[in-house]
Amino acid sequence: MDLAFFSVQLLNGLQYGLLLFLIASGLTLIFGIMGIINLAHGAMYMIGAYLVYDLNLRLGNFWLAIMVAIPIAIALGLIIERLFLDTLYKRDHLYQVLLTFGLILVLNEAQRIIWGGDVHRVPVPAPFDASIQLTDNLQYSVYRLFVMGVCLALAGVIYWVIRHTKLGIIIRAGAVNRDMVEGLGINVRTLFTLIFSVGVALTAFAGMIAAPLTSIAPGMGDNILITCFVVVVIGGIGSIKGAFWGAIIIGMATTFGAVLIPSLASMVIYLIMAAVLLVKPRGLFA
Amino acid sequence: MLHRYPKRVAIIMLILTALVAAFPLWGEAVFGTQANFMLEKLTLMLILALFAMSLDLLVGIVGLVSLGHALFFGLGAYTLALASPDFSPASMWWMLPLVMGVSASIGLFIGVLVIRTKGIFFIMTTLAFGQMLYYFISTSQFAGGTDGVFIMFRPSLAIGERTLVDLDNPYSFFYFCLGMLLIGYFFLRWLTRSYFGQVLDGIHDNEHRMQALGYATSGYKLIAFVIAGVMAAIAGMLAAMQYGFANPAQLGWHTSGEVLMMLILGGMGTIFGPILGAFAYEILLFIYEHATTHWPILMGLTIIAAVLVLPRGIAGLIIAPPWQRKRNNDDAPAAKKEQASEAVQSTTPRKEG
């Protein structure tokens, strides 16, 4: 493996990891603050990708499509939270698992009804549809670099909000002791709705910007969901920092695993998870 | 959890068991030429009932919500498929112990890792381990990859040359599965009422208190995890015999979700509830599949509705019918209070960690 090839893999791993972080951060926020395990999180990623595919065809502009798709995703998050999750906060995780499992069935099938079972692609949008020539036969997509930049920027914003704003203080306090936050006069109900919508929007947004990089297919959300569970378990549930490093570890392991040990590639992330569980059962950053 | 159920529970279950067992007598009269097909469906329901019941030991009795229980179901199926000789039937006398041994050792290995986690972590890690085996099997050459493995011969149950139960015959296989389900039921009933079961019940209610009383709770949970895994693997083996193949889908997390659904639909923590749940789920599935190709929407909505309005499942309806609850409201405030607190106890989360 020469240096150029190695650096391309490194970039790919970083890009995948950063994308995973966007999805996993929503998952971990929703769990950390609301105590809800949301299996339908992956389905929202899928819906984000399909929304952009559809709107891109209708509007003819990728960026416009994203602008329209984000409010739709937020609205969907609001509806789900108000309609279904409202009754579940005080109940056992088992019921949350089942209800969101039911939501997956509904959302996956709704996707089939609206967009069918075919695999779709979204063209890489201008002005990022170019490549940088690294060596004679190696090039790197500018769009991937752009995705990395966006993810890093969002990670920075999330970090800033959680560390340096009043909302962030409430979120951090809520993750430690929800009842106390409520006792101090914070409207937890509104906070929950906000967190859930933001979490869902982050995931859907990840699906949107990932759309030109992956094939858009039914069930794409299920795979990403389980990968994100592994990320969250490694990083520690409720920890944004853990989600970040967990995502980078998994991104790198997936990319390099596929190159170095192809026979075990699909197992690598689970083996890492098992190793982390052995040493730190509550995750690296919990 | 070790309630004394009203007498009607036993009566209803006895009637249903008799009805199912007598299917060969009335099946043809009701379903005509479809009778054989219905017998197959019924056999599958018996197998899934055993599967759902095994999960009840974990979820309902110990309070460990596993989203990876299909791992054991698929493990039983694949053990049978891969260990069966190509050109002759295997013997049940070594196949059953083999399935139990394989699932017990893998259950022990995974159990040691996942028992260290609690609550939501347990859900996520069981899910992840289930998917690990799923990817391992579906990318392995020896296990037939995504196509799975066909089982050419069902195992035989014989002493010497004499066949005890002809498992190739759909009717005797049906009774074999019914027998396995009943054994499973009475085993779990005995287990939950034993000293061991009392400790599990204590762990469900308050693990810290059990630890303070000097119980090594992890050990108890691990044993329960392994027992549930072995029972699920037996169900998986029976399912593979019924289908004639082992397929990665049997290991996937959708199967784990479905079996949880059967559990909640039937009523968890009751042992007999999951049996009703498995039957109800399969009957609903049958109806939905015939109604529309988009049946997952209907199933998804059913799951959501069941979670919202029927958290104690069908068993909850039988044990405490709505009209009876209402009567208590009217003329016995004390009884109402007691019942309410009991209802709260079994539906609210127990503090963990």
Residue B164 domain-assigned (yes or no): yes
Q: Minimal Cα distance from A286: which residue of B?
A: B121
Q: What are phi and psi of B64, to 5 degrees?
A: -100, 110
- β pairing state of B162-165 and B157-159: antiparallel
CATH number at residue B148: 1.10.3470
Q: How far apart are CA B172 and CA B167, in angstroms?
A: 6
Q: Which position has the higher pLDDT, B25 or A70?
A: A70
The pLDDT value given to residue A70:
94
pLDDT tens column, B243-266: 988 999 888 888 999 999 999 999
Out of B65, B116, B128, the one facing A94 most closely (by C-beta) is B65
Round to whole Å and give the CA distance between B189 and B118. Answer: 26
Beta bridge partners of A139: A133
> Would you state the pLDDT for residue B283?
94
Alpha carbon distance B94, B181 (integer Å): 20
Chain A interface includes B13 (CB < 8 A): no
Residue A92's pLDDT is 81
Choose the closest CB to A267 out of B65, B132, B350. B132
Could you tell me which residue, A264 or A48, shows the higher pLDDT?
A: A48
- DSSP class per residue in A167-184: HHHHHHHHHH-HHHHHHT
pLDDT digits (tens, 9 = 90+) for B198-246: 999 999 999 999 999 999 999 999 999 999 999 999 999 999 999 988 9
Give per-residue pLDDT as tens, A122-141. 888 878 777 777 777 777 88
Q: Which residues of A11-41 are buried (b: 16+ CB within 10 A; e: fewer)?
A: bbbbbbbbbbbbbbbbbbbbbbbbbbbbbbb
pLDDT value, residue B345: 45
Q: Are B116 and A277 within 8 A, CB to CB?
A: yes
pLDDT in tens, B313-333: 888 888 888 777 655 544 444
**Would you list the domain boundaries of chain A?**
26-218, 220-286
Q: How confident is the model at residue B278 (pLDDT cuts 50, 70, 90)?
A: very high
Does residue B25 carry a pLDDT above 90?
A: no
The terminus-to-terminus CA distance of chain B in angstroms comes to 21
Q: Is the pLDDT of residue B348 over 60?
A: no
Decide if B304 is inside a domain.
Answer: yes
Report residue A280 as tokens.
């730190």
B177 found inside a domain:
yes
- Secondary structure (DSSP) of B300-327: HHHHHHHHHH-TTHHHHHHHS-HHHHHH
CB of B129 less than 8 A from some CB of A: yes
Inter-chain CB proximity A267 and B136 less than 8 Å: yes
Q: Helices B273-291 and B295-309 meet at what angle, rounded to 10?
A: 150
Give the other-Cβ count within 10 Å of B209's Cβ.
12
B281 at interface of A, judged by CB pairs closer than 8 A? no
Cβ contact A93–B123 (<8 Å): yes
Average pLDDT over residues A76-86: 87
In the predicted structure, residue A202 carries a pLDDT above the cut 90: yes
Round to whole Å and give the CA distance between A146 and A124.
Answer: 11
What would the mean pLDDT of A16-39 be, rounded to a whole number? 88
For the cut 60, the answer to whether the pLDDT of residue A116 exceeds it is yes
Kindly tell me if the per-residue pLDDT of A168 is higher than 70.
yes
- Residue B163 in domain: yes
Residue B346 pLDDT > 70, yes or no?
no
Mean pLDDT computed over every residue of chain A: 87
Please give the angle made by the CA atoms of B57, B58 and B59, to the nearest 5 degrees: 100
pLDDT of residue A35 exceeding 60 = yes
Question: Using beta carbons and an 8 Å cutoff, which residues of A are at the interface with B?
Answer: 31, 37, 39, 84, 87-88, 90-95, 97-99, 101-106, 108-110, 112-113, 222, 226, 229-230, 232-233, 237, 266-267, 270-271, 273-274, 277-278, 281-282
Q: Does B203 touch chain A (CB under 8 A)?
A: no
Contact B113 A110 (CB under 8 A): no
Report the pLDDT value the prediction gives residue B338, as an integer from 0 to 100. Answer: 43
Give SS3 for B52.
helix
Whether B150 is in a domain gets the answer yes
What span, in angstroms and rounded, lies between the C-alpha atoms of B127 and B325? 37
B275: pLDDT strictly greater than 80? yes
- Residue owning tokens 């939905």: B288
CB B266 within 8 A of CB A69: no
Which two three-digit tokens encode residue A248?
Answer: 């980078």
Q: Is 50 exceeded by the pLDDT of residue A115?
A: yes
Assigned domain for B325 exists: no
Interface test with A, best of B120, B146, B262 (most A CBs within 10 A): B120
- Domain span at residue B90 reads 7-319
Of the segments A19-28, A103-112, B80-89, B229-238, which one has the largest average pLDDT value? Answer: B229-238
Mutation to test the B interface, candidates A92, A237, A254, most B Cβ within 10 Å: A92
Segment A215-234, tens digit of pLDDT: 899 888 888 888 998 898 89
Mean pLDDT of A201-225: 90
Q: How confident is residue B311, by pLDDT bands cut at 50, 70 and 90?
A: confident
Q: Is B346 on the interface with A (CB under 8 A)?
A: no
In chain B, pLDDT over 70 holds for what percent of residues? Answer: 91
Band the pLDDT of B3: cuts 50, 70, 90. low
In chain B, which residue's Cα lies nearest the Cα of A269? B132
